[in-house]
Amino acid sequence: MTYVAGMDAKLAMAIVWACLAMPVVAQAESVAAEPRQIPAREGRIRVGSAELYSRDIGTGRAVLVLHGGPDFDHLYLLPELDRLADAYHLIYYDQRGRGQSASGVLPADVTLASDLDDVDAVRKHFHLDSMILLGHSWGTVLALEYALRHPEHVSQLILMNPAPASTGDLKQFREVYIQELGLDYEQQRQIMATPEYRAGDPETVAMRYRLHFKPALARTGDYEKLMERMKAAFIRQGKDGIVKARAVEDQLMLDTWGKADYDLLPKLNAVQARTLVISGDHDFFPETVAEHIARAVPHSDLVMLTGCGHFAYLECPAEVRKTIDRFLDSH
């Protein structure tokens, strides 16, 4: 562990969003692997016309978890992240229009503003005046946006495998991504152009993601484990769920990376919470993505994990646990 302070627009954005998380994992797997058989509690949170699915587990300091995607749900973080439940009260929820929060939600109604309002609604539901906010991938962007708007409600920030916080860093990622994929990049383009992929066929979508995540993990065993989860997840979602999730991400693009001037970095000097940034030396986001965020946030620690990729909680669980415990115990 070490410490350090030309593609078309539609395809480019699809690739970036896909980097921000992996799909849902079967519920049975997460339940079976829960640490020490700690029971999880499920609920529903009414927010206007939407109903958000929530799941919380453990006791102690409250940690509100923001999943990535943004077109996925919280299950891909399980069972590994649940291991924190022996010391913390973990609160997960599926973001509006995704996972078990999809029913009755139109993709056109999902915006960055609605996502941020939902974060606050979940906080209020659990009667939290202040909370630790943990985001993974796309969830780090959401966490930073929320911390800027509601600093009084965030005691600490944990940003795991952060996504680009500016279009400049996004552009750099695109260049690195194409270079690392090589011939697989063109093959991926061909798959994404097929009618089956566009219609959300789970087998075709899984085939595309086998190429997409090749440079994202450090070890073959972790990569294959991820691929198995992903294929099962796409089958679980079905065609309609996959297509709807894409429409949600398209809407959120309009508010973030779809803007040529999207740049959170100059604003991050206003973040008041102590912040931990965790990344890996095999993440397919360049190390500069995490470095720029850590440099922009006034009170931040950057931890770069050796031999770890974009799914740090899955690939390096022991190191992630030690890093989080040390950070929270010291603040």
Query: 277-321, pLDDT tens digit by residue?
Result: 999 999 999 999 999 999 999 999 999 999 999 999 999 999 999
pTM comes to 0.88
Topology adopted by domain 2-330: Rossmann fold (3.40.50)
Q: How many CB atoms lie within 10 A of CB 248?
A: 26
Measured N-to-C along each axis, helices 287-296 and 167-181 cross at an angle, to the nearest 10 degrees, of: 160
Please tell me the predicted confidence (pLDDT) of residue 227.
87
Residue at token pair 């939600």: 105
66 CB neighbour count, 10 Å cutoff? 29
What's the confidence (pLDDT) of residue 22? 45
Q: Which residues of the chain have pLDDT under 50?
A: 1-7, 9, 21-35
For the chain, the average pLDDT equals: 88
The structural domains of the chain, with segments of one domain joined by +, span: 2-330
pLDDT for res 53 = 96
209, 29 Cβ separation under 8 angstroms: no
pLDDT of residue 27: 37
Alpha carbons 330 and 114: distance in angstroms, whole number = 33
